[in-house]
Amino acid sequence: MQHPDLLRELARRPLCCDGAMGTQLLERGMTSGQCGMLWNVERPEAVGDIHRAYRNAGCELITTNSFGGTRFVLERHGLADRVSELNRAAAQVARAAAGGSGWVLGDVGPFGDFLEPVGDVTPDELRAAFRDQITALIEGGADAVLVETMSDPAEAVVGVEAAKACDARIPVIVTYAFQKTAPGHFRTLMGPTVAEAVRRAIAAGADIVGANCGTGLSLDDYLDLGHQLLGVAGTTPVMVQPNAGAPRTEAGKTIYDATPEQMAGTARQLLAAGVRIIGGCCGTTPLHLTAMGRAMHGADR
Ligand SMILES: [Zn+2]
């Protein structure tokens, strides 16, 4: 793991993150409703194949398969007692695929419920759950923590606090899922604006902030969002992981239509705007990331 610190490298050059994991697992035979975390121990070669496909596509940041890795989410699959094992395995599989020159982002997704007063979970309970997950991700070899697809800034803040409590120096990234509420206006499902959401993450100590996924956003919306994120992030680097365009439903299936070339165009525009890390979310494949990585490299030179 003798590669430079992620933040130091990011100050020198933009970096390419990977794309979707969930849809890739489904393509390899996982059924929806199944716990993807189990694949880290039962089908590690399949998870590793996905990571390697992204690494070969030129992605420098590889995200662990641990989106649903908190005790709260694993509990629904009867796996609450396997938090450490499954997260450590997720990081080990990603570490092996990332190699010495790639960085592993320990993925932390939403815990799937609401903090009090809306829900019953206290910030202390959530902090403990995130700490258990993040401790295992770091043990398995994660270089940074990615707190992603956030809607509630309070949850994102707890995620940052938990990561920094595990390792005060580990880089922490927070990305929110936004929806468009009016032309040019974005909010998370919980209501906060881009400015509110980003400022709270930075105040909590996030080293990188941004957006991933989202609801019904077009590629132009992601560009608009990128500009807004840059406007409020100040000197904090910004990361954007768009879906492969706005999805449509066909015979009960969600389909993302954006082509690799279209995604490459968006990556080029985001990079020109000043976004430092670009990857993909729902519907993106290694083909999309290959085109995006090439576009970023071209602009890099
Ligand atoms: Zn997504």
Answer yes or no: is 44 within a domain.
yes
Ligand 1 center to 124 CA (angstroms): 27
CA dist 25 and 279 (Å) reads: 18
In this structure, what CATH number is given to the domain that contains residue 80?
3.20.20.330
**pLDDT value, residue 300:** 46
Q: Residue 288 domain-assigned?
A: yes
Q: Is pLDDT above 80 for 1?
A: no
Question: How far is the centre of ligand 1, averaged over its atoms, from the C-alpha of 2 (Å)?
Answer: 31
Cα separations (Å) of 127 from 81, 84, 140, 268? 17, 15, 20, 37
Q: Domain limits at 182?
A: 6-300
Torsion sign (Cα): 199, 203, 209, 211 = negative
Distance, CA 127 to ligand 1 centroid (Å)?
24
Residue 256 is assigned to a structural domain of this protein: yes
39 assigned to some structural domain: yes
CA of 210 to the centre of ligand 1 (A): 13
Dist. CA 1–CA 66, nearest whole Å: 21
Has this prediction a pTM greater than 0.95? Answer: yes
Number of independent structural domains in the chain: 1
% of the chain exceeding 90 in pLDDT: 94
Residue 148 Cα to ligand 1 middle (Å) = 10
What confidence score (pLDDT) does residue 32 get?
84
Quick check: is 159 in a domain? yes
Tokens representing 72 are 């709260």
State yes or no: pLDDT of 292 exceeds 50.
Answer: yes
Residue 171 zone, left/alpha/beta (φ > 0; ψ -120 to 50; rest): beta
- β-sheet bridge partners, residue 249: 254
pLDDT in tens, 141-174: 999 999 999 999 999 999 999 999 999 999 999 9
- Does residue 1 fall inside a structural domain? no
> Is residue 274 included in any domain, yes or no?
yes
Bridge partners, residue 17, by sequence: 61
12 lies in some domain: yes
What value does the mean pLDDT take over residues 288-297? 95
Answer left, alpha or beta for residue 283, where phi above 0 means left and psi between -120 and 50 means alpha: left
pLDDT, tens only, 190-210: 999 999 999 999 999 999 999
